[in-house]
């Protein structure tokens, strides 16, 4: 195993956002492709919003994606793994405060006794003078005797921003330079004794020996503060990679209110975890093999190259995701796909117990090349389990109101009744011969027949589904279809 150590640090304050999922995928692929360590750390210091059930959701989402961690906390039935814990930020408070004390002792931080009222007044003066609100440095160089004189007065701890520049060589964004004077002396411990995010995340990354911090580019401005802290604490500074955000189909930030922002929405909508893993990495990474988009998880690990991470925000494309999901469905074994489909069908009320294994596998096989999501199996197969009681209006107008349709339907019924070997191949051969003898395209026979057998315009192949319906049921439905056509009112 290499010395590469990466982490994701989600907050258990809600569902697992698709942006979090993309970051997790990139970190996981980087660790696996380098033979490194992937760490899961829960940033659960927001006591009001952090909930155990949200931590369980994170675990569930990562497991669904197929992402395993090498080190992490005990939660959702998972035991703690790793020797550099605790892996919950709320359990690391003493470590954070100990490192803050070390910064005080080294002169890299100072106690700030300014009250909220003083800071608010300073902020109002800055606004009135139309300048950025900044801490005025009042307590930066307080003599020791003045600090002692404060006694037990509450204080914050501020980091003493050094002079000069901070330069960050980002793996994605390139070289980023900032004049340190653009930062005021920022708070690292609040007056109530709670460590601030900037301190906690740096201490955690430093003590957990994280070598690469790969996260969203909304943290790019924070990275300058973090690098200063890494250096002041004497930690090895990790390499940073700030990934662009995920945009929705309209090119805007993916709102949490939008369906699909929750990663598990896609599971519920019938998408495969391998599809989502594949698609999420493509939202921020370009493979070296030009034009290639379809990867299994194992192929992604082999192909992943961090130098091909992009700066541009990934725009969500539902049609591409649907296409990709269809491709992953086609790659499954029939047995595995059938196993995934049966619970969905049962939940929809389809009585699959009435069919034997061979029939169910054949049903899966004829649908595998058609369905874009697992959930589409229901409209593609419900006619097998329920009688056809109505016909879709649009295909009725398109297929059953044509001149000569009853004649063709009668001819198809005769052809079906004459088939001695009720198989898809025999049915196709019979319909093809009929089409040629009547000089009419095959679609003029298959489309009206599909509507009679299923009530729908779209579904599995006609001959295959007719074989599975069985001779008697298929012929009965053809007769019902003909009767329905004959009962239609003439078009004006």
321 vs 319: CA distance, rounded Å = 5
In 3D space, the residue among 319, 316, 313 whose CA is nearest the CA of residue 261 turns out to be 316
User: Residue 248's closest CA among 18, 15, 10?
Assistant: 18
What is the rounded distance in angstroms from the CA atom of residue 36 to the CA atom of residue 423?
Answer: 54
Helix (H) or strand (E) holding 174: strand 174-179
| Catalytic position from the list 138, 150, 253, 256 | 256
User: What are the strands, taking DSSP E only, across 244-379?
Assistant: 246-247, 314-315
Catalytic: 256?
yes
SS percent in the chain: helix, strand, coil, step 5: 50, 10, 35
Within 10 Å of residue 89's Cβ, how many Cβ atoms?
A: 25
Strands 109-112 and 156-159: antiparallel
CB atoms under 10 Å from CB of 122, counted, come to: 16
Residue whose tokens read 């009530």: 455
From residue 347, how far is each of 76, 342, 378, 393 by CA, in Å? 25, 9, 10, 27
**Residue 193 near residue 157, CB atoms below 8 Å:** no
Whether residue 86 is preceded by a cis peptide bond, meaning omega within 30 degrees of 0, is: yes
For residue 463, give the nearest of 449, 476, 481 by alpha carbon: 449
- CA distance linking residue 186 with residue 159, whole number of Å: 6
Distance from C-alpha of 362 to C-alpha of 368, rounded to nearest angstrom: 10
Beta-bridge mates of residue 179: 165
379 vs 371: CA distance, rounded Å = 10
The answer to whether 249 and 318 are in contact (CB under 8 A) is yes
H-type alpha helices, 7-134: 18-34, 52-65, 93-106, 116-128
Rounded Cα distance between 205 and 213, Å, is: 8
Sign of CA dihedral 267, 273, 279, 282: positive
Cα separations in angstroms, 175 against 26, 98, 198, 210:
21, 32, 21, 21
Active site residues: 256
């Amino acid at each position: 195993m290499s010395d590469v150590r990466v982490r994701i640090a989600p907050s258990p304050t809600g569902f697992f956002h698709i942006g979090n999922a993309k970051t997790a995928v990139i970190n996981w692929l980087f660790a696996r492709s380098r033979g490194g360590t992937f760490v899961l750390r829960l940033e659960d210091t927001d006591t009001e919003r952090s909930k155990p059930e949200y931590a369980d959701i994170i675990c569930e989402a990562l497991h669904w994606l197929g992402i395993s961690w090498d080190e992490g906390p005990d939660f959702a039935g998972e035991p703690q793994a790793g020797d550099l814990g605790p892996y919950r930020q709320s359990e690391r408070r003493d470590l954070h405060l100990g490192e803050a004390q070390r910064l005080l002792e080294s002169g890299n931080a100072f106690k700030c006794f300014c009250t909220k009222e003083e800071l608010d007044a300073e902020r109002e003066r800055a606004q009135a003078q139309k300048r950025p609100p900044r801490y005025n440095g009042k307590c930066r160089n307080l003599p020791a005797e003045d600090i002692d004189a404060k006694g037990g007065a509450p204080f914050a701890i501020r980091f003493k921003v050094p002079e000069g520049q901070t330069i960050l060589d980002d793996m994605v964004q390139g070289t980023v330079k900032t004049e340190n004077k653009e930062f005021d002396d920022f708070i690292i411990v609040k007056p109530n004794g709670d460590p601030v995010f900037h301190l906690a995340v740096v201490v955690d990354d430093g003590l957990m020996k994280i070598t690469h911090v790969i996260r969203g580019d909304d943290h790019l401005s924070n990275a300058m503060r973090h690098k200063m802290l890494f250096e002041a604490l004497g930690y090895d500074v990790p390499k940073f990679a700030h990934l662009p955000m995920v945009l929705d189909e309209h090119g805007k930030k993916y709102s949490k209110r939008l369906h699909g922002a929750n990663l598990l929405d896609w599971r519920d909508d019938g998408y495969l975890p391998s599809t989502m893993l594949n698609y999420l990495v493509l939202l921020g990474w370009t493979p070296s093999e030009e034009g290639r988009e379809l990867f299994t998880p194992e192929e992604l690990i082999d192909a992943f190259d961090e130098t091909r991470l992009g700066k541009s925000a990934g725009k969500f494309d539902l049609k591409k995701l649907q296409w990709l999901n269809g491709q992953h469905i086609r790659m499954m074994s029939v047995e595995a796909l059938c196993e995934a489909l049966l619970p969905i069908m049962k939940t929809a009320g389809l009585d699959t117990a009435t069919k034997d294994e061979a029939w169910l596998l054949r049903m899966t096989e004829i649908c595998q090349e058609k369905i874009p999501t697992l959930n589409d199996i229901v409209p593609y197969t419900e006619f097998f389990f329920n009688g056809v009681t109505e016909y879709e209006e649009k295909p009725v107008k398109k297929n059953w109101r044509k001149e000569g349709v009853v004649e063709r339907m009668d001819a198809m019924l005769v052809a079906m009744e004459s088939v001695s070997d009720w198989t898809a191949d025999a049915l196709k051969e019979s319909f093809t011969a009929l089409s040629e003898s009547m000089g009419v395209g095959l679609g003029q026979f298959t489309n009206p027949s599909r509507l009679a057998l299923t009530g729908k315009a779209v579904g599995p192949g006609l001959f295959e589904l007719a074989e599975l319906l069985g001779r008697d049921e298929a012929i009965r439905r053809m007769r019902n279809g003909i009767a329905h056509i004959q009962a239609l009112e003439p078009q004006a």
